[in-house]
Amino acid sequence: MADEKKFPSNQRILDLVLRMLNGEIITFATWKSYYHGNDHAKRTFQRDMQDITHALKKTNSKQRLVRKHDELRSEDERTEYSIVCTAVEDTDVDQHPQNIG
């Protein structure tokens, strides 16, 4: 527990959004390495992704959070999240990012 990195949730979410706006793809594994370093944070990760989704929708942003799922990857890297402009959506990307699981 001493190795756990502490970030206030608002700082963590802002950092996530900025990373994704800069083109970074976020998985649970990358999120853990940046913010938690332990295996007990899956629900917090899911909540962060939901908060970002809701904020982008609420502000009528031209960007949105998208999710791409690949069963062949490891559990912590199976689902990738990124922010894209709605004008350049990828048809292979899950169209329902609010169904995070």
Strands (E), 4-77: 63-69
Measured CA to CA, the distance from residue 28 to residue 37 in angstroms comes to 11
Cβ–Cβ contacts within 10 Å for residue 66, how many?
Answer: 21
Model pTM?
Answer: 0.71
| Average pLDDT for 89-96 | 45
Report the pLDDT averaged over residues 75-82: 85
Q: Which pLDDT tens digit goes with each residue over 45-65?
A: 999 999 999 999 999 888 989
pLDDT of residue 58: 92
Q: Does 9-85 carry CATH code 1.10.10? A: yes
Position 11 confidence tier, pLDDT thresholds 50, 70, 90: very high
Which range is least confidently modeled, 6-20, 64-78, 83-97? 83-97
pLDDT in tens, 28-42: 999 998 887 665 688
The domain limits of the chain are 9-85
Strands (E) in 9-75, as ranges, are 63-69
Q: Which amino acid, one-letter code, is at 63? A: Q
Q: Are 32 and 44 in contact (CB under 8 A)?
A: no
